A and B are shown apart, each in its own frame.
Chain A
Amino acid sequence: NAGVTQTPKFRVLKTGQSMTLLCAQDMNHEYMYWYRQDPGMGLRLIHYSVGEGTTAKGEVPDGYNVSRLKKQNFLLGLESAAPSQTSVYFCASSLQGGNQPQHFGDGTRLSIL
């Protein structure tokens, strides 16, 4: 019962470096999401996807790109990391949108120096 798996769990980057966070789900869910969580704040939606080959911007998309080439995978890319992107990143999936509960991975803790 893997559910939603995020890799890596931890990463430290230098300013200006690039990296990709991987999210994989084995529940055949259509919708996938990327959030960031910062201290004292709720989760904020970065990008989301309503199906294979689709992506859309969320509340805080600047500085990030995403791709959903396969239904089970949703990749989050940082092209040129900035200290403001230091955060915990959560991936989630849901069967459909609307009121369907989202299932979350355990997060990636990313530090940008």
Chain B
Amino acid sequence: DQQVKQNSPSLSVQEGRISILNCDYTNSMFDYFLWYKKYPAEGPTFLISISSIKDKNEDGRFTVFLNKSAKHLSLHIVPSQPGDSAVYFCAAQDYQLIWGAGTKLIIKP
């Protein structure tokens, strides 16, 4: 049973607009969440994280929002750029990282 779910396998967004990637989790004991970005033929790279004591964390164009009551987090990218086209993974910290299946983001020119 997947504890971290990314229900959208892919997402297409116009360049300059906002990209919103969603992630749901089932275990209320998770207290730290991370987003990773992955280009083809490369390993994932860390993007941004959030602790459960916060509901928002921002780093430049990237903002992660956490709604603990809904067990939901989202990654906002504003404005979206062509280089943002990649697969985005959400992960929750337990004794190990529990990963979602990823969402492929395509930025259209």
A-to-B contact residues, CB < 8 Å: 4, 40-45, 48, 58-59, 90, 92, 98-99, 101-107
Contact = CB atoms under 8 A, between A and B. Distances in A.
A107 B41 contact: yes
Interface residues of B, number: 23
11 contacts: A4-B43, A42-B89, A42-B101, A43-B97, A43-B99, A58-B96, A99-B93, A101-B46, A101-B49, A103-B46, A107-B42
Sort A-B residue pairs by CB-CB distance and give the 6 closest, nearest first: A104-B43, A42-B99, A101-B46, A43-B99, A99-B32, A45-B96
A105 B45 CA distance: 9
Main secondary structure of the interface of A (DSSP, over half): loop
Contact of A42 (B9, B46, B100): B100
A42 B4 contact: yes
Given A4-B43, A41-B101, A42-B102, A48 B96 contact: yes
A97 to B, nearest CB: 9
Interface in B86-104: 89, 91, 93, 96-102
A10 to B, nearest CB: 10
B34 interface: yes
